[in-house]
Structure 1
Amino acid sequence: MDRPAVPTYILRGHDAPIHALRFYSRNAYLASGDSEGWLIIWSLATKRPVAVWKGHEGAVMCIRHWTHKRLVSHGRDHKLRVWQVQDEDLADLTTNLPGDKSSVDRREPWLLHSISVNALNFCAFSMCSELPGRTSRPETEAQLVASPNGLDSGGIDIFQLPSERRVSQIASAQDSPTGMVMAVSIFHDNAKSRLLVVSGYEDGRVMVHVRTGNFDKEGGWQKVTSSKLRPGSQPILSLEISPSRDYFITSGVDSWIAKYPLDLPDGMAGESRETDRSSSIKTKHAGQQGLSIRSDGKIFATAGWDARIRVYSTRTMKELAVLQWHQQGCYATSFADLDLEANDLAAPTEYTGSDLSTQSNEILARPTALDIIKRKREEKARSIHWLAAGGKDGKISLWNIY
């Protein structure tokens, strides 16, 4: 009989339930946020915090990264904040944990931007580059941020960073009320040069809106598809777009998990389609949220109110593993990125026998044995297929699976 899987590591630092997790900087770090507004950056090499600060006056709902040097956090205090977290800055930040009262003056990362956004819907933001594709200098790329509208509970606002301006809005469906927006994702369809927003609602419905051209041109968003799994569906809790951008998966308050194709019509004309072409499974486990899809698109994970982390196949939608360690409900999951380029995981520095650089004729410091060991440890940690999970107990479990 196979032994049940156990976490490789447990990260202990938060004193409150964890609602947000994010690997970033080529898997060198894991960022976490809790219900009291605390943010912690963990080193995956040492499994210790390298920065701890209170970023919000309410619960942290979501964390995303904007290049390897910036983190974006969304709090229940109705603020979306962009923090500068360069490696050279982390050494000067406070590492005292939230429960440590001895540190009076906590040094926090430089706050680059702060936008007032809606947080009443329990719906986290989503972001993507303003322009399709990637430039050679991603740190200069403007970003689009999608979040629920402050007055129209079924509407969606689109902001631009770094200007912090609202550049567009998707109004709620007046002819068929959906309730509040519960989950949203914004991304580009690069093949067809258009911007898409996928949203999940309180009545269990999902919608896809499309826009072509920039925001200075006339014309707006068009709803191209709307789908409801079945009558009486419960609210959507999480929604994730596949890395290939050809489908998305949702989970909700009920026990259903659904996969929807994104094969949308080319044109913008015509009426939207009311369809249900989803492939769905009834898991018999209500309250699965924090859904995340691994970067290779093969598996996805959910965090369950029953304290279980479940891993599924994206192709067959079959349950592959149930990870049990937490004693209380789980709220968030995150996968490490598997799509690292070869130069992202360069070999550890080795001494070649020459102390002179052929390019600059400067004397190079010979790496010590400790330096080489440290480098190898960092590269090993970054290459592991991590799955992180957090929940009500304030602890983060790290699993090395598949």
Structure 2
Amino acid sequence: MVPVFMVKAMSTDSRAIEQRAHSSGKSSLPPPGPPPPTPSFIFRGHDASIQALEFFASNTFLVSGDQEGWICVWDIWKRRQVYKWQGHPSSSILAFKVIPFYKALSSSGDLGVSHRKLGALEKQVYIVSHGRDNEIHVWDINTILQKSLRLVDSTAIGGMTVGKDDLTLVYSLPVNALNFCKMSILAIEISAPQLQQQQQQQQQKQKVGQDQERSQENESSSSTLSRTHHHIYIAVPSPMTPSLIDVYDIVRPERAFVSIGSDSGNPGSGHDMFGKKWGSAMAIQLIQKRTESLDLSSLDLNDHSSARMNAMDSESRHESGTLCMLVGYEDGLVILFQEQAPMSSTSGQKISGQASKQNRKMNVLWSIKCHREPVLALDISSDLRFAVSSGADNMLVKYELFTRLQGIPEVTKVALKANGIADIKIRNDNKILGLAGWDGR
């Protein structure tokens, strides 16, 4: 049996809500369905309505956010609250994204360990929160998580001492959160072999005393992210026009793409600058389309250059690719954008507003309208073969993302019994969809 957990606000009285629903006498309520599964445990710690949830670290931790901007991190197996802070004061939280990465540990004893071997790596996470206060924050809570993991007894977590210095705000990005479009994040991390190489270089510098001076300097947030990731792309609606989309790379930092969806970036798209045809962007999904691998069967295997090409560095393979973006709009349109050139070929516009030599652009790969009402949610399969969309109507639509034929993609539509699917998720094996309906099911 799969365990079911529930995060519940302390002030919520489910029985009172049910009584009010029955006393209203509305005949539009759906017929009662099968009873819900019994939760194995209920986490209580929020005083306001919970708006966002995200599992991470192989489902051993859970992060939740409420309508007042409070964020809670829970230890699933010990069934205790690890830490709570108000990340977005008096503002509702729209979404979370957990970004895993490898961190190279020095021999000085990180996280209470007296000695680390050269080249030792540890899996850590950044928690990214998107709030209605027009801010996106990147949090480092790994010190807090390590303290929780070191405690064997679950009852000891209540007495765990956690200081303010254990929670680090790594980066903040000002955005426009007037609409309800959630952020989309694509993180391209540095591979383990390159991190080990960086750690070896750091050890060599320590021998000559260079690192002692560097440790005394205040490091910027962008330099912190650059040690773990090549790029962290964040796509959000444009601050001026909600129908257009900006993509930021917070590692550099820069605004990599400006006003995606305008006529200047997509000639012949049939969309004006004021969004009168498409409406506001409602759902965004960033993906990286892998570059086609080179077929070496036709090359001379005796040639040493061919052997070197076949043994291409794994780091360059991991970073190479084309950035794509799937967007659902207020009028029911779904559009797939694709970058004109590979990621590493051009540089974007600085967040500070300084113009670069050449702005990166995206063109419309295909567009199709299968929804009569606004699109509310999108998700993409783990193998990038297909995507699904849901909206305020009763249509569930599946799209083949990248087909050999140009133009309209292959589409499968299913009509549901009830209108309104607020969110949709595809399981990692791409076999099961989870739908969150307005009818409470």
**Taking structure 2 as the reference length, what is the TM-score of the superposition?**
0.60
The correspondence for 1:202, drawn from 292, 306, 330, is 330
Map of 2:436 onto structure 1: 303
Map of 1:66 onto structure 2: 99
Q: Which structure shows the bigger proportion of residues in helix conformation? A: 2
- Deviation of 1:124 (Å): 0.7
Please identify, of 71-80 and 61-70, the stretch whose mean Cα deviation from structure 2 is larger: 61-70
Map of 1:228 onto structure 2: 369
Aligned pairs for 1:189-338 (under 5 A) are 189-192=289-292, 193-211=321-339, 212-213=341-342, 214=344, 215-216=346-347, 220-230=361-371, 233-265=372-404, 273=407, 275=408, 277-308=410-441
Q: For 1:77 and 1:218, how far apart are their aligned partners in 2?
A: 29
Cα 1:52–1:88 shift into 2, 3 Å: closer
The correspondence for 1:167, drawn from 244, 247, 256, is 256
Map of 1:17 onto structure 2: 49
Letter in 1 for 2:287: F
User: Aligned pair count?
Assistant: 286
Which structure is richer in relative contact order (CA contacts within 8 A, separation 6 or more)?
1
- Deviation of 1:302 (Å): 1.8
Cα 1:52–1:170 shift into 2, 3 Å: same
- After superposition, give the CA deviation of every residue in 1:31-68 in whole Å (9 maximum; x if it has no partner): 11122211111111122211111111311111011213
- After superposition, give the CA deviation of every residue in 1:326-358 in whole Å (9 maximum; x if it has no partner): xxxxxxxxxxxxxxxxxxxxxxxxxxxxxxxxx
Q: For 2:376 and 2:60, how far apart are their aligned partners in 1?
A: 29
Q: For 1:88 and 1:53, how far apart are their aligned partners in 2?
A: 12
Contact conserved, 2:282 with 2:330, CA < 8 A, in 1? yes
Letter in 2 for 1:59: S
Map of 1:81 onto structure 2: 137
- After superposition, give the CA deviation of every residue in 1:196-225 in whole Å (9 maximum; x if it has no partner): 100000011110000132332666211010
- Deviation of 1:173 (Å): 4.9
- Deviation of 1:284 (Å): 1.8
Cα 1:127–1:47 shift into 2, 3 Å: same
- After superposition, give the CA deviation of every residue in 1:221-251 in whole Å (9 maximum; x if it has no partner): 1101001005xx1111111111111111111
Contact conserved, 2:187 with 2:229, CA < 8 A, in 1? no
- After superposition, give the CA deviation of every residue in 1:84-133 in whole Å (9 maximum; x if it has no partner): 010446649xxxxxxxxxxxx978721000000121221111111358x9
Q: For 1:148 and 1:80, how far apart are their aligned partners in 2?
A: 13
Cα 1:117–1:203 shift into 2, 3 Å: same
Report the 3-state secondary structure (helix = DSSP H, G, I; strand = E; otherwise coil) of the residue aligned with 2:228.
helix
Cα 1:129–1:69 shift into 2, 3 Å: closer
Instruction: Give me the identity figure in percent.
Output: 29
Q: For 1:107 and 1:304, how far apart are their aligned partners in 2?
A: 41
Map of 2:240 onto structure 1: 151
Report the 3-state secondary structure (helix = DSSP H, G, I; strand = E; otherwise coil) of the residue aligned with 1:121.
coil
Q: For 2:166 and 2:68, how far apart are their aligned partners in 1?
A: 16
Q: For 1:168 and 1:10, how far apart are their aligned partners in 2?
A: 43
The correspondence for 2:85, drawn from 53, 59, 73, is 53
Cα 1:52–1:210 shift into 2, 3 Å: same
Report the 3-state secondary structure (helix = DSSP H, G, I; strand = E; otherwise coil) of the residue aligned with 2:46.
coil
Contact conserved, 1:178 with 1:201, CA < 8 A, in 2? yes
Map of 1:186 onto structure 2: 286
Map of 1:27 onto structure 2: 59
Cα 1:79–1:164 shift into 2, 3 Å: farther
Higher Rg of the two aligned structures: 2
Report the 3-state secondary structure (helix = DSSP H, G, I; strand = E; otherwise coil) of the residue aligned with 1:285.
coil
Q: For 1:252 and 1:237, how far apart are their aligned partners in 2?
A: 4
- After superposition, give the CA deviation of every residue in 1:231-276 in whole Å (9 maximum; x if it has no partner): xx1111111111111111111112221111112459xxxxx73x36
- Deviation of 1:283 (Å): 1.4
Map of 2:69 onto structure 1: 37
**Is 2:182 the counterpart of 1:124?**
yes
- After superposition, give the CA deviation of every residue in 1:171-197 in whole Å (9 maximum; x if it has no partner): 335524200000001110114431110
Q: For 1:16 and 1:297, how far apart are their aligned partners in 2?
A: 34
The answer for unaligned runs of 5 or more in structure 2 is: 1-33, 101-123, 149-162, 196-226, 264-269, 272-276, 293-320, 348-357
Q: Which structure shows the bigger proportion of residues in strand conformation? A: 1
- Deviation of 1:3 (Å): 7.6
Cα 1:189–1:302 shift into 2, 3 Å: same
Q: For 2:135 and 2:359, how far apart are their aligned partners in 1?
A: 30
Q: For 1:32 and 1:4, how far apart are their aligned partners in 2?
A: 21
The answer for unaligned runs of 5 or more in structure 1 is: 93-104, 267-271, 309-402
Cα 1:248–1:91 shift into 2, 3 Å: same
Letter in 2 for 1:204: G
Q: For 1:221 and 1:208, how far apart are their aligned partners in 2?
A: 10
Contact conserved, 2:283 with 2:376, CA < 8 A, in 1? yes
- Deviation of 1:82 (Å): 0.2
